Amino acid sequence: MSTQVKRKPLLSTNNAKTIKGEKLGYITYILYMSSYKANSKRINLCPNASKGCAESCLVGSGFGGMYTNVMKGRMEKSEYFLSDREAFLYQLKGEIEKALIKHKDNAIVTIRLNGTTDIAWEKFNVFDGKNIFEIFPSVQFYDYTKNWLRFDRELPKNYYLTFSRSETNHSKCIELLNRGINVAMVFDKIPSTFEGFEVINADTDDLRFLDKRGTICGLKYKKMTGKGADNSKAFSSGFAIRTESIEDRLINLKKKISKKNLVLSN
């Protein structure tokens, strides 16, 4: 007789940023797994991650960087997802159902499935031909993604995506911003504007689906805390943006304009 493995919860509300949404009446359940190729099968769960992104991943910041048991738990979830996807998704469905019952009268439940991954969850139609979003049409799901092709497909109406900048997709970011799609960018210090677009402080909460469209969601770089972490790579790679360089470009631009006006006046 086989013994059924007792699985730990997939979703968590223990996140310093997502809890900021509680003041607005929302509670966010988030799924954290090991990112990129950190699994026994070496399957890339962040298929569009750049080198700079992989080296500066949030999986190495906060609790994920400080506690080995947290890292181990995330790894176990990835292994579960890769080895038995259908069971994983049915457990996820059950946890969302419980969350909706628990918070029925005290908060609006929102779900973020890619806490530290970039998986296209909309393609897994295991619930009698439906995906997880279609099973819960009244629940707001949201995520960040580096896969710009997802914005060219029709997404579930209750699934909001914010594009995420890296050092290799900047031109695509500008293109998407001009289409009214929001883009998250990491800075050392969040500016008010960047390359002609308004920048909002996206660190005040994680409720990206409430943001004004066509804006940059500015995020301050979160330092990795794990052993041997090298935070300089985030900026040397170009993954994160130094605001000082923005100021320098503006100063140089003003100098060029002044010089050009002086030549024209003569």
Among 219, 194, 186, CA closest to 205: 219
pLDDT at 252: 66
- 63 has pLDDT over 50: no
Alpha helices (H) in 103-242, listed in sequence order: 132-135, 170-178, 232-236
- Chain-centroid distance, C-alpha 102: 26
Helix (H) / strand (E) element for 27: namely strand 26-31
pLDDT number for residue 7: 87
Q: Which carries the bigger pLDDT value, residue 51 or residue 173?
A: 173
For residues 204 and 54, the model is more confident at 204
pLDDT at 3 over 50: no
The values of phi and psi at residue 248, to 5°, are -60, -40
Distances in whole angstroms, Cα of residue 235 to Cα of each of 132, 164, 167, 221, 223: 37, 16, 9, 9, 11
State the residue for tokens 């677009």. 197
How far apart are alpha carbons 73 and 245 in whole angstroms?
39
3 or 192, which is more confident? 192
Nearest-angstrom CA–CA distance, 220 and 189: 6
For residues 214-235, average pLDDT:
81
In the numeric block, which tokens belong to residue 97?
A: 């159902």
Which tokens in the block code for residue 145?
Answer: 């993604």
> Residue 60: what pLDDT?
45
- Going by C-alpha positions, the residue among 22, 38, 62, 60 that lies closest to residue 207 is 22
pLDDT of 65 > 80? The answer is: no
- Whether pLDDT at 247 is above 90: no
Integer Cα distance of 73 and 251 in angstroms? 48
Q: Which two tokens stand for residue 253?
A: 């631009």
Q: What is the mean pLDDT of the chain?
A: 88
Q: What is the pLDDT of residue 62?
A: 45
Q: How confident is the model at residue 246 (pLDDT cuts 50, 70, 90)?
A: low
Q: What is the pLDDT of residues 26-60, one digit of tens each?
A: 999 999 999 989 899 999 999 987 876 777 665 44
Q: What is the mean pLDDT of residues 252-256?
A: 72
Averaged over 163-171, what is the pLDDT? 95
Question: Is the predicted pLDDT of residue 229 greater than 80, yes or no?
Answer: no
Beta bridge partners of 31: 11
pLDDT one-digit tens code per residue, 99-152: 999 999 999 999 999 999 999 999 999 999 999 999 999 999 999 999 999 999
**Looking at residue 266, what is its pLDDT?**
59
Specify the amino acid at residue 203: D
Task: Give me the pLDDT at residue 2, please.
Answer: 40
CA distance 8 to 15: 17
Q: What is the pLDDT of residues 177-201, one digit of tens each?
A: 999 999 999 999 999 999 999 999 9
Alpha helix (H) ranges present in the chain?
51-55, 62-66, 68-83, 85-102, 132-135, 170-178, 232-236, 243-265
